[in-house]
Structures are given as structure tokens and as C-alpha cells.
Structure 1
Amino acid sequence: MDANSPVHWQRVEVSRFGGPEVLQVIDEQGLPQPGPGQVRVRVLTAGTGFTDTIIRQGQYVDVKDKPPFTPGYDYFGVVDALGAGVTDLAPGDFVAEMPVIGGYAQYLCTDAERLVRCPAGLDPAAAVCMILSYTTAYQMLTRECSLSAGDAILVHAAGGAVGTALLELGRELGLQVFGTASAGKHELVRSFDATPIDYRNEKFEAVIARETGGQGVKAAFDTLGGASWSRSYRCLARGGTLVAFGALQLTTGEEKLPGLLWGFAKLLALWPLLPDSRRSVFYNIQRRRQKLPEEFREDLSTLMQWLAEGRLQPAVAAVRPLREAPDVHRQIDTGSIAGKVVLDCSAS
């Protein structure tokens, strides 16, 4: 393709912090040009999820950018052009990246060293699921916990993007998985051989106690918030680990900031002092990647290879055109999506 031709392409922009209506589709003319050490990527798919919506709202502490900016936590694409000095990638290579913002675009330029090369022949919709959702799940299961086949785990928001990744990887690792979800998502939970818990009509602590004979679970993965973290901690067996990785109920208004702060105090300061052999940690994929970039590259590469081998089949709820990003965010805000919605960036 002639880099100087007036190519028309699109990206999505957050015009100001707020609801889905602040997302605008921007028409661009002329391809962006990679600088030294950069490559231009033709984006095939971009992931969507709850993190994108709290970035849109201005509530994500790891994003300091002010609008306007292009959202999009992760993307999968193909190298389109090389900047000066890039020798370890070539046009046509398939790549993945997790920029936190920037992925809702048909073309973009990025530093070559940040890209993870992927096998050819992957389904782009499935491949993008491996980046944020599955790497989060994989690292929590294998880096934050010490689990063995047969161990029981508890997964909250089990019908969501990270939740279903935890279900599938838990099955792959031979774990006994319990997942809280609304009744409409129980069939999806069961499809991963996990046991659903109706969080609206059942107390998950009672279900865990009953199903494990009072022993509890070896790990609990909780993205809900401080009050839920306390309940999940009570579900742990001796030697178990609580991995908190979000505060969903703060953004939905179900929990207030003082409650969340008290939850963090217990999670990070009080519970570690208890002589009960249980652990509690807070996981953030971006901060871990910043400290351990090679670990992120290794784990994502492992998952892409498993996908290529047919070992993983992520729950893709729908593939929608890039221009429908505002509608996708409306769905995410309602909590109605089972699995993950992927944006198709290859079509206008």
C-alpha cells in the first residue's frame, strides 16, 4: 500500500469523560507514519470490557490522559510498515499489544519493543481475548497463587470477560471452579464445567461451605469491591489466597469510597497480620507488566500458542464493527454481556 495515498480510516475518541454518548467515531485521512523504533499496525480487532468503560468515565487511576483520546485497552493486528531501525519485525507479522488506551483504531503506530509476535492463522476475535482477559486470568492463577489439580477456587463475575477466562483456564488446569453470576449466565458458566452460584438469591459463602464440606476454597478471585473481598476471604481454606483485582461495585454505586478504602486496609494491612496462613493480594496487570515485562510477554505468548493448538475457546459474545463502540459500551454498563464483545477494526 502506498503510504502517501489518501487512505481513509477510523478511530474512536473520548470527547470528554462521561457515558457512552461521549464516544465519537472520527474519520481520518492519510496513514500515520511510524517514527524511529516504531511500527505501524493495521488493527484487526480490539477488545472491550469494563475497564474501558471506567477509563471513559475518568475513574481509572492508571490513565492520566485527559480527553480527547482514543480508548482501547488491547488490540490484535498485523504489522503494516516499519520505522527506522526496526529489524525484529516484518510487514505481515501478527502482533498483540496492551496499550491501556489507543486500541479503538484501524491504524496506529507504537514502539516495536512493546509488541508481542503471535502465530499466524489465529481467529482475530479469539486472539484479542488472550491479551487483557486471559493474561489477567492466567497470571492470577499461576503467578499469584500456588494451585494444584483438584483444588477448589471461587470466581466472581464469572460470566464476564475475565470471569470466563478464569473458568476456562481453571478447567485447563484441572481445578474445581465455582462462579458467581446472574441466573441468565449460568448456562455459560456450566459450559466450562464450573458450578454456578446465583449471587442474587444465594449466599455464596454458604454454597462454598456446603460444596467443600466446610474446607473452603484454595483461591478466590474477586473484582467486586471491599465488602465482597471480606466475604471472599471468609471462604478461603487454610493456605488459601484471595486475589482482588477490581472494584466494580464502586463504579456501579453499590459501594461507597469509605467502604472500599476499608476493604483495601484489610486486604493489604490487616489480614496479612492474621496467623491463619491465608494470603490476600491486589492484582493489576498493567503495573505487573511494568515491573516484569518479560513475564507478560512469556505468559501472553503461552496463551497465544494454546489458542493456536485449539486448547482454548474464549467466550466471544459478539463481534461488532468499530463504529458501534458506543452501543457496546451501553451494553457493558448494564452488565448484560455474557463473555466478551470484540470490535472488528478491519471494516469501516
Structure 2
Amino acid sequence: MKRVVVERFGGPEVLRVVNDDKPRPGPGEACVRVLAAGVSLTDAQLRAGTYLGVPRPPFTPGYELVGVVDELGPGCRRLRTGDRVAALTAYGAYAEYVCVPESEVVEVPADLDPAEVVGLVLTYGTAYQMLHRLAKVRSGESLLVHGAAGRVGVAVLELGALAGVRLYGTAAAADLDAVERLGAVAIDYRNEDFLARVRELTGDGVDVVLDGIGGPTSLRSFRALRPGGRLVVYGHYAMLERGRASWRRWAAGWAEWYGTTAAVSLWGLLDPRRRVMAYRIQRLRDSRQWLPMAGRRPARLVGGGPRNPEWFREDLAVLIELLRADKVHPVVAERLPLSEARRAHELLAQSAAKGKIVLVP
């Protein structure tokens, strides 16, 4: 089979397609023939070596896939050969065949476009879980999302509208109309003070803020909450510069992220009427890997415990049904063969805002 390998940390040029033996599934694993593998900024961070938990090169990137079960290992009882499935892999999906634990895949209807379904796995999965697993939004509440015109932002707006939430979103001037078409009040983050604008529009702030920017923005996002509000921090400053690792920005970005996160958490401890939470989709697959960083319960670290892939399966199943009902609309910007993985990463900066880039082995 063919797979893409990161030979060393660096820019898109470090991606190379190699021939390798087809993997055989171990106990409890399914070998999946990949139909579509999503390309994301997270993959670029893995390639550059700036993502937390990145494996040492050589490794195969690829955070998400949709494929067909080709072979089952001993002990598999739920799946059958020929089933179409989706999986969140973290890395390894840029390949013709991938082995994944049977417990962590979700069945996918065969009549859906694999490239559209793979757009649900990470992007819409992140949005859905932040809304419903962490923030637990309710109909009639108000929500502010930063970067509302980005892929996660668009997913938040679509899912938030379905949940009956009043929506506000920050975006660049060129994207304000697109944000408004999705049913949100758009705020020009370059020319408007989003905190002042939110207070002007709502009177006492919003119930939920989803902050994928981090840094000083998180402090101001916390101040935008009304009593009983929840802040979910799920990102930090980009640590890539022209597709490569910027160690200066990496060091400065993490120092600033941890510093401001600590400050926001302290504010949450001092003001128990508001809660602060951190989100990573990999951690949320384990029900005991996250707790509110501050708020009504004290901030603490939790490790170990059984994984909880049921949440991931349940949530992706909901999203698949919404796709079938034409209620969510993951956009595919580019479909490229596996051999053009380098070009896919080169296109990330200009095409990602237009939709999902997908590798089709």
C-alpha cells in the first residue's frame, strides 16, 4: 500500500509518499481501506512538530478518515467486512489502509459522500462537543464565537442555530456578510471592540463564549460573560510561520497561553458565577481527562481512567443524521490524491477558509 510519511519536522516538503506492507489488524482492531482523509491545521502542526503529543518522525499524519472495513482482527463483534466507517485517528490517516480500534469507529451510511462525512469528524465534532458536552447550551441562551467565518466557527453557527441559541461572531470585515447569512450578529474584530459591542447588544453579556484564539482574548472573553456564563478555551495562537515551525512564536505562544489561561482560571475561582473550561477533542474521548479549569469546582488535573469512545460515537452519529437531513453543510474545498499530500498542505493557508481539503487515496 501507499502512505504519506513525515520524514522530519518541517514544512510541506518533508511529506513523502512511500510503499509499505498492508497492515494486519490486531485483537479488537479493524483494518480500514481509506476513502477520504481530512487535511487540517492540526496535521500541519503535527508535521511541523508544534502539536502537543506529536510522535517522533518518521510517522504518518492524518487526524480523521472515512473508509470501508477490509479485515477484522480477533475479538471484533460489532463490525462486519464491507461496513463503511469514520474514525478520529489523531495521526495515521494519510494512507490507503489504516488499523483502528473497533470501539472507536462510527458506522457511516454508504449513500453519503465520504469527503463530506470526513468534514464532520474533527470540525463539526469539535463544535458539537463544545456546545453540548461542555457548555451545555440551552435554547434561548446567547453565544459568542471567535473566528466565526472559520471552519469550526461555521460549524458552531450552524449547530447553534439548530439548538435555538442567539448567536454572535467575530470575523474580518470581508467575512461579515457570510457570518450574518448563518444567522449570527457579526462583529468586525479589527474595527470594533468585541467586548464593548457584546455588552451594547446584550446589556449584561452572553451566556457562552467559545474562544479558539487564546492569549489576551481569553481575558476579555471572560469579561464578556454574564453571571452563570461559561467560557470554553479550545485554541491558542498559531505556531506556524509560512507553513513551518516558528520556535520563537512557539515559545512565546505557549508562555502567553499558559499565562493568560492561569489568569482566566484565577478569575474563575474568584468569581464562581462564571466557569472556564478547556477543550481538546482527544481528551474529551476520555470522560475523566477533563474538568472545568475554574468555576464552581476547584481546578485540578485528572489522569487515567477508562476511555469513553461512546461520546464520540454518539455525537458523530447525531452529526451524520443532521447531514442526511441537510441541516449541516460541511464544504469540501479540494479533493486531491494521496500523492499530492504536499500540495494539500501548501494549500492549507488559502483553501482551508473555503472548506475542507480532503485526500482521496
Both structures adopt the same fold (TM-score exceeding 0.5):
yes
2:330 to 283, 299, 314: 314
User: In structure 2, what residue type is equivalent to 1:275?
Assistant: D
- Please list, as runs of the form range in 1=range in 2, the aligned pairs for 1:236-251 lying within 5 A after superposition: 236-251=225-240
Deviation at 1:33, TM superposition (A): 2.6
**Bigger CA drift: 32-41 or 97-106?**
32-41
- Quote the Cα distance in structure 2 between the aligned partners of 1:69 and 1:185: 36
Q: In structure 1, give the amino acid aligned to 2:319.
A: L
**Equivalent of residue 269 in structure 2, options 267, 273, 277:** 273
My pick for the range that moved more, 153-162 or 98-107, is 153-162
Query: Per the alignment, do residues 262 and 207 of structure 1 end up closer, same or farther by CA in structure 2, a change over 3 Å counting?
Result: same
Does residue 285 in structure 1 map to residue 281 in structure 2? Answer: yes
Where in structure 2 are there 5+ consecutive unaligned residues? 242-248, 288-307
The amino acid across from 1:246 in the alignment is: G
User: Which of 173, 179, 199 is equivalent to 1:183?
Assistant: 173
TM-score when scaled to structure 1? 0.88
Aligned length: 333
In structure 2, the residue matched to 1:48 is 39
Moved over 6 A (4+): none
Q: How does 1:194-343 map to 2 (within 5 A)?
A: 194-212=184-202, 214-251=203-240, 253=249, 256-268=253-265, 270-275=266-271, 277-291=273-287, 292-332=308-348, 334=349, 337-343=352-358
Contact 1:325–1:343 (8 Å) recurs in 2: no
Give the deviation of 1:251 after TM superposition. Answer: 4.8
Instruction: List alignment gaps of at least 5 residues for structure 1.
Output: 1-8
2:313 and 2:321 mapped to 1: Cα distance? 12
Seen in structure 2, the aligned counterparts of structure 1 residues 185 and 113 have a Cα distance that, compared at 3 Å, is same
How far apart are residue 109 of structure 1 and its match?
Answer: 1.8
1:265 shift after superposition: 0.8
In 2, Cα distance between the equivalents of 1:58 and 1:143? 29
* Residue 5 of structure 1: aligned partner: none
Q: Which residue of 2 aligns with 1:104?
A: 94
Shift of 1:44: 1.1
Task: Say if 1:11 and 1:104, in contact at 8 Å, map to a contact too.
Answer: yes
Offset of 1:339 from its aligned partner? 4.7
- What displacement does 1:224 show? 0.9
SS at match of 2:353: coil
Match of 1:311, SS state, is coil
Normalising by structure 2, we get a TM-score of 0.85
Paired residues for 1:84-123 under 5 Å: 84-123=74-113
Please give the per-residue CA displacement for 1:278-307, whole angstroms capped at 9, x wherever unaligned.
Answer: 111111110110333222221111111222
Q: How much is the aligned-residue C-alpha RMSD, in angstroms? A: 2.1
Q: Secondary structure at the match of 2:356?
A: strand
Report the residue type matching 2:198 in the other structure: I
* 1:21 pairs with 2:10: no
CA distance in 1 between counterparts of 2:281 and 2:67 reads: 21
Q: Once the 2 structures are TM-superposed, how far is the Cα of residue 250 of structure 1 from its aligned partner?
A: 4.9
SS at match of 2:134: coil
TM-superposition CA deviations, 1:148-176 (whole Å, max 9, x none) = 22322111122222121111101111212
Q: Deviations over 1:245-293 (max 9, x none)?
A: 111345563954332221121233x022223611111111101103332
Q: Contact 1:45 / 1:342 at 8 angstroms: preserved in 2?
A: no
Cα pair distance change 1:322/1:197, threshold 3 Å:
farther
Instruction: Please state how far the C-alpha of 1:98 moved relative to its aligned partner.
Output: 0.7
